[in-house]
A and B are shown apart, each in its own frame.
Chain A
Amino acid sequence: AQSVAQPEDQVNVAEGNPLTVKCTYSVSGNPYLFWYVQYPNRGLQFLLKYITGDNLVKGSYGFEAEFNKSQTSFHLKKPSALVSDSALYFCAVTYYGNNRLAFGKGNQVVVIP
């Protein structure tokens, strides 16, 4: 079965500083990896995904993530955080032929003005 670990409950960062949200995964076979963002009282919004190809994936709102197979990680990054990036971020994993996404518990990101 697939699983995701997001080790930090909350990430605090000053506006304009780089933002990193960590994610490690466990899956049988080649992973398909996703990041979603959730704003209060809203559903999850898709940010980016890794299926195959270049390990550095670029997504919405200036976010990117790097797939590292040896470390089984898929950390989310943004070079310069905005106050509007404050939200709950979820990492998720599945694999070829299986549409069941396994989500992490989420990371609350707080960007301080």
Chain B
Amino acid sequence: EAGVAQSPRYKIIEKRQSVAFWCNPISGHATLYWYQQILGQGPKLLIQFQNNGVVDDSQLPKDRFSAERLKGVDSTLKIQPAKLEDSAVYLCASSLATGGRASYEQYFGPGTRLTVT
């Protein structure tokens, strides 16, 4: 089966500019996650969707970050305006619907490496 797709793979922007990332999850996976992975750290959950509804966005910096998952499939994550500390890899993951043991396995995309200068 096809894996989680993300684009772009790399992005370089100046601070105060805006940027958007796109994710297409594995077909049939109702749950979608966006993570931020800063160099030398483990991934940190930013937001979790169940179909097109938000389940958990408690760690999303809402003054500058936004995400949507229209139609419950693809998702976009936006940063506006970007700061230097947003430089990181942004990972998208998906899993089966919550509930049941298989739902806890998350499958990750290749990530988008963002550099803010």
Q: Which residues of A line the B interface, CB within 8 A?
A: 4, 32, 34, 36, 41-46, 49, 51, 90, 92, 94, 99-101, 103-106
Contacts and interface: CB of A to CB of B under 8 A. Distances in A.
B45 A100 contact: yes
Interface of B: 4, 6, 31, 33, 40-45, 48, 55-56, 91, 93, 95, 98, 101, 103-111, 113
Given A44-B43, A103-B44, 7 more contacts: A43-B6, A44-B93, A90-B43, A99-B31, A99-B95, A100-B45, A103-B42
A106 B93 CA distance: 18
B90 to A, nearest CB: 11
Contacts of B41: 105-106
Contacts of B95: 99
A41 B55 CA distance: 29
A8 to B, nearest CB: 14
B44 A105 contact: no
